[in-house]
Amino acid sequence: MSDSTIRIGLVLPDVMGTYGDGGNALILRQRLRMRGYDAEIVDITLSDPVPDSLDVYTLGGAEDSAQRLATRHLAKYPGLQRAAERGAPVLAICAAIQVLGNWYETSSGERVDGVSMLDVTTSPQEKRSIGEVITKPLIDGLTAPLSGFENHRGGTTLGSSASGFARVTHGVGNGVGDGFEGVVQGSVIGTYMHGPALARNPELADLLLMRALGVNELEPLHLPEVDKLRKERLAIR
Ligand code: GLN
């Protein structure tokens, strides 16, 4: 690995890997390599302290018990918090929103403190939200509709320091009646979209990469198979 290698942190795939969200790191690496960058995925497991020096980070979804292990680890080794403070992009999927929040309540009603990188709280809702979700992004740099598959019972309420990532046009999203899907705060983007999210939403992948590289544009990639996948997913209602 050379000094110029772009390093993608896959945070706790051993516990936050249940829904295949590790695919997001693969997408980031592939989109970099196709443009001629050296890129590597750094797996950060429960046996490792969390490094603060990587270029971009992604965390996946998980069940309640795995979430708790992840929360404890991130609180003990606050490398992700330091990385986000210096502006490194972080993509947090589903349970990861809850873990990075102020607190979340498990399905059995126990309240667990999160690591407070996101000003959100999460409580279980009566009904589990499962199915396709389609949204309209609310942040600069994204224009295309977003598509994902949601599967969560937690409903997430945004605090005053957090903003909605997107507005739901189909599906449930954060699930507390405000119409938002996901959360943005500083360099952290959280979303309930599995998929993996970046396979379905290349514009989001490139936004994270532009932020990681500190550039305003990237060479476009022509990938008809990705366009086909998007068309199929966005047609699902
Ligand atoms: N256990 C959490 C919930 O149901 C997260 C699930 C997930 O990551 N898919 O809300």
Pocket flag, ligand 1, residue 153 (CB < 6 Å): yes
139 and 152 Cβ atoms separated by less than 8 Å: no
CATH (domain of 166): 3.40.50.880
CA of 81 to the centre of ligand 1 (A): 22
How far is the C-alpha of 210 from the C-alpha of 193, rounded, in Å?
21
Q: How far is the CA of 38 from the centre of ligand 1 (A)?
A: 33
Q: What pLDDT is stored for residue 1 in this prediction?
A: 62
Q: What is the crossing angle of helices 202-213 and 23-33, to 10°?
A: 70
Its domain, for residue 195, covers: 4-233
**Count: domains in the chain:** 1
pLDDT at residue 113, rounded to an integer: 98
Look at residues 167, 171, 127 and name the one whose alpha carbon lies nearest to residue 148.
171
Enter the ipTM: 0.94
Other CB atoms within 10 A of residue 3 CB? 5
Alpha-carbon torsion angle 195, 196, 200, 203, nearest 10 = 140
Amino acid at position 206, single letter = D
Match 């991130």 to its residue by tokens. Answer: 74
Catalytic annotation present for 152: no
Nearest Cα residue to 134 out of 197, 215, 220: 197
Whether 170 is a known active-site residue: answer: no
Q: From first to last of its 237 residues, what are the pLDDT tens digits of the chain?
A: 667 999 999 999 999 999 999 999 999 999 999 999 999 999 999 999 999 999 999 999 999 999 999 999 999 999 999 999 999 999 999 999 999 999 999 988 999 999 999 999 999 999 999 999 999 999 999 999 999 999 999 999 999 999 999 999 999 999 999 999 999 999 999 999 999 999 999 999 999 999 999 999 999 999 999 999 999 999 986
The pLDDT value recorded for residue 236 is 83
Does residue 168 contact residue 182 with C-beta atoms inside 8 Å?
no
Tell me what pLDDT residue 24 has: 98
